[in-house]
Every structure is written in structure tokens, then in C-alpha cells.
Amino acid sequence: EQKVLQVVVDPALCQGHNRCKAIAPKLFELDEFGHAHAVGDGTVPAGLEDKARLAEANCPEFAIKVVQA
């Protein structure tokens, strides 16, 4: 059984590297300063779990957490 995941960006850690959005544009969007936040409430649609994990692993600031929704 696939657990529902949620992506969370810590705004205090994000430095605008943009890797998250490049990897998973359906999960992350950027504000006018180039800082990321989750799309909607961060719930990861079925099939995008690997992208969420990849974004988490590729943020140089460790600003992204993937948690169980």
C-alpha cells in the first residue's frame, strides 16, 4: 500500500537553488524572490513520489522534507 506523501519547504533554509522545481515542477513553485514552496498543501500526487524524494535529495540546503501526509 502506497502511503500519501507531502513535501514541505523550510523557508528559513531555502536559498533559491531551484533544483526542486527543475526536478518536480508539479510539486514546487517559486515566489518573486526565487524561493520555493510546495504547490497547494504539498500533497504528492500518486506517481510523483520518486520525484519528491529526488527533490529532497537534491536540495543543497536540505530545505526540503518529504513526510507522510
The site for ligand F3S (CB under 6 A) is made up of: 9, 14-20, 36, 59, 61, 63-64
- Cβ proximity to ligand F3S, 15 vs 25, nearer residue: 15
Nearest-approach distance from CB 14 to ligand F3S, in angstroms: 3
CB 47 within 8 A of CB 39: no
Nearest-approach distance from CB 23 to ligand F3S, in angstroms: 8
If one counts every other C-beta atom within 10 angstroms of the C-beta of residue 68, the result is: 7
- Cβ proximity to ligand F3S, 5 vs 59, nearer residue: 59
Distance CA 27, CA 33 (A): 18
Residue 30 in grid coordinates: 517559486
